[in-house]
């Protein structure tokens, strides 16, 4: 009998199904985050549900409530979950895409979106120093490399 915790999902299709269920659950979650607006000449009160962003932490919480802890599938310590690498990468990519797109469209706070996804912007300007030599700074928009580590 193998050591460690028992598997919750037997294959990547089961984990993918759980992720789809998580995304559907966000529509219900959105009803908790209503935006109140007063429209028209009489100021009629209207409420709209807000788009709730996908997050890996949110998926962990959803799975914990419905299936059990799934962090080990994403961490893959000791390569015990190698067959789940593809679906875990897909889930992370879809979450990241949702956050970035939502930030670009103004649904989510762009500053928080940048921080969550290790995006950074820096500026380069060129000036002449006191000694006559150039002083340079640059505008750089950088995303993490393939290892998902922030670029320094």
Residue identified by tokens 């928009």 is: 141
133 plus 102 within the same structural domain: no
At 151 the pLDDT is 47
Is the residue at 130 inside a domain?
yes
Q: In the predicted model, is pLDDT for residue 57 greater than 70?
A: yes
**Do 131 and 106 share a structural domain?**
no
**Alpha-carbon distance values, 102 to 33, 52, 84, 114, 120 (Å):** 16, 10, 27, 11, 17
Residue 58's domain comprises 12-117
Residue 104 lies inside a defined structural domain of this protein: yes
Q: Round to whole Å and give the CA distance between 98 and 116.
A: 12
Query: Is there a domain that residue 5 lies in?
Result: no
User: Is residue 4 in some structural domain?
Assistant: no
Judge if 137 and 93 occupy the same domain: no
How many domains in the chain?
Answer: 2
Answer yes or no: do 93 and 138 share one domain. no
> Are 143 and 111 in the same domain?
no
The answer to which of 6-15, 36-45, 55-64, 112-121 has the lowest mean pLDDT is 112-121
> What are the tens digits of pLDDT across the range 93-147?
999 999 988 888 888 887 777 777 766 666 666 666 667 666 665 555 555 555 5
Shared-domain flag, residues 61 and 102 = yes
DSSP result, 6-61: PPS-SSHHHHHHHHHHHHHHHHHHHTTSEEEEEETTTTEEEEEEPPPPP-HHHHHH
- Do 36 and 100 have their domain in common? yes
CATH number of the domain where residue 74 is located: 1.10.132
96 within domain boundaries: yes
């Amino acid at each position: 009998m193998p050591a460690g915790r028992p598997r919750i999902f037997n294959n990547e299709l089961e984990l993918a199904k759980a992720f789809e269920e998580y995304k559907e659950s966000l529509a219900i979650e959105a009803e908790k985050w209503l935006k109140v607006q007063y429209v028209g000449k009489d100021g009629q009160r209207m409420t709209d549900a807000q788009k709730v962003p996908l997050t890996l932490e949110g998926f962990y919480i959803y799975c914990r409530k419905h299936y059990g802890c799934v962090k080990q599938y994403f961490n893959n310590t000791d390569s015990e979950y190698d067959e789940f690498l593809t679906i875990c990468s897909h889930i992370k990519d879809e979450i990241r895409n949702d956050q970035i797109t939502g930030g670009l469209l103004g649904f989510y706070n762009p500053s928080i979106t940048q921080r969550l996804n290790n995006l950074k912007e820096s500026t380069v300007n060129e000036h002449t120093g006191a000694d006559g030599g150039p002083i340079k700074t640059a505008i750089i928009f950088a995303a993490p490399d393939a290892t998902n580590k922030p670029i320094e």
